[in-house]
Amino acid sequence: MPTVSIVTPSLNQGAFLKECLDSVQAAATAAGIPVEHLIMDGGSTDQTLQILGSQSGARWTSGKDDGQTDAINKGLQQVSGDIVSYLCADDLLEPEALRVALRAFEDDPAADVVYGDAYFLESGWKRKKVAGAFSRDRLKRGNFLLQPAVFLRRSVFEKFGIFDASLKFCMDHEFWLRISGGTKWKYVAVPLACSRLHSDAKTWTRLPEAWDEARMMQARYGIYWRPLRDALWMRTAGCHYYRIKRLLFARIAKSRKP
């Protein structure tokens, strides 16, 4: 049975961290395996360190870093597992995630990457996102992958390197593009993770900046028109559209609660 390592970058995410840690332990128990869980904390000043100090199933460090991507990379340089993923401190694994992912790797020994569907979790409301079949052309049209639901062999990082630390928002999309031409991807039509949407998440508070970075990143791969159009739309109307959409979804989530 392959061994598993999960890296979690963290900075002042104490409100969500315990749920993240518990989800990894639950997935490990369901899969019947130990998991090497590395929490790379950037020097949190909230309740994060108290939560980490009470956990026996995870390994952690806390100190200044150069941001989320740097924290992930530091963790990746320490992992020992055959299968590797990173899970942000405000995200969750689904209970069957590791069992399903490991079975997929076992069924297809040539697979370098296994990914699945996922949920968006907002105000307690889980909305399913279907990833669908993989193709490099599709990836060049946009990032259809939900990062917490992606698992890779450690050999992929050994061959292609780690995430580009100059990128603060789209480092995962850049990495998928970088490796996509030389790796085999396997899709499982099962939700493997939850990506939490909340008002403090940087992808919500800095939307125009994130899309502008994505535009510049994709230009490296010869992708110009669509990212330019999307970045301009985000700076003019898109950011307002997404804020209104989030408020609407929060209302829907509240109305669904018993």
Q: What is the pLDDT of residues 83-115, one digit of tens each?
A: 999 999 999 999 999 999 999 999 999 999 999
Torsion sign over Cα 207, 213, 77, 190: positive
Specify the pLDDT at position 15. Answer: 94
Is residue 257 pLDDT above 70, yes or no? no
The DSSP bridge pattern shows strands 92-93 and 35-41 to be: unpaired
| CA gap 149, 81 in Å, rounded | 17
Specify the pLDDT at position 69. Answer: 97
pLDDT (tens digit per residue) in 246-255:
777 667 766 7
Q: Binning pLDDT at 50, 70 and 90, where does residue 123 land?
A: confident
Q: Binning pLDDT at 50, 70 and 90, where does residue 119 land?
A: very high
Q: How far apart are the first and last CA of the chain?
A: 42
Is residue 200 pLDDT above 70, yes or no? no
Is residue 190 pLDDT above 70, yes or no? yes
Each domain of the chain, given as residue ranges in start order, spans 4-256
Is residue 57 pLDDT above 70, yes or no? yes
Specify the pLDDT at position 242. Answer: 67
Specify the pLDDT at position 248. Answer: 75
| CA gap 160, 156 in Å, rounded | 6
3-state helix, strand, coil in the chain (%, to 5): 45, 20, 35
Closest CA to 113 of 142, 154, 146, 162: 154
Is residue 62 pLDDT above 90, yes or no? yes
Report pTM. 0.91
pLDDT (tens digit per residue) in 213-241:
999 999 999 999 888 888 777 777 766 66
> In this prediction, what percent of the chain has a pLDDT beyond 70?
91
Burial grade of 217 (CB within 10 A; 0-12, 13-18, 19 or more): buried
pLDDT (tens digit per residue) in 127-182:
899 999 999 999 999 999 999 999 999 999 999 999 999 999 999 999 999 999 99
DSSP state of 212: H
> In this prediction, what percent of the chain has a pLDDT beyond 90?
75
Q: Give CATH for domain 4-256.
A: 3.90.550.10
Chain-centroid distance, C-alpha 98: 15
Q: Could you give the 3-state DSSP secondary structure of residue 213?
A: helix
| 134-158 core/surface letters (b: 16 or more CB in 10 A; e: else) | beeeebeeebbbbbbbbbbbbebbe
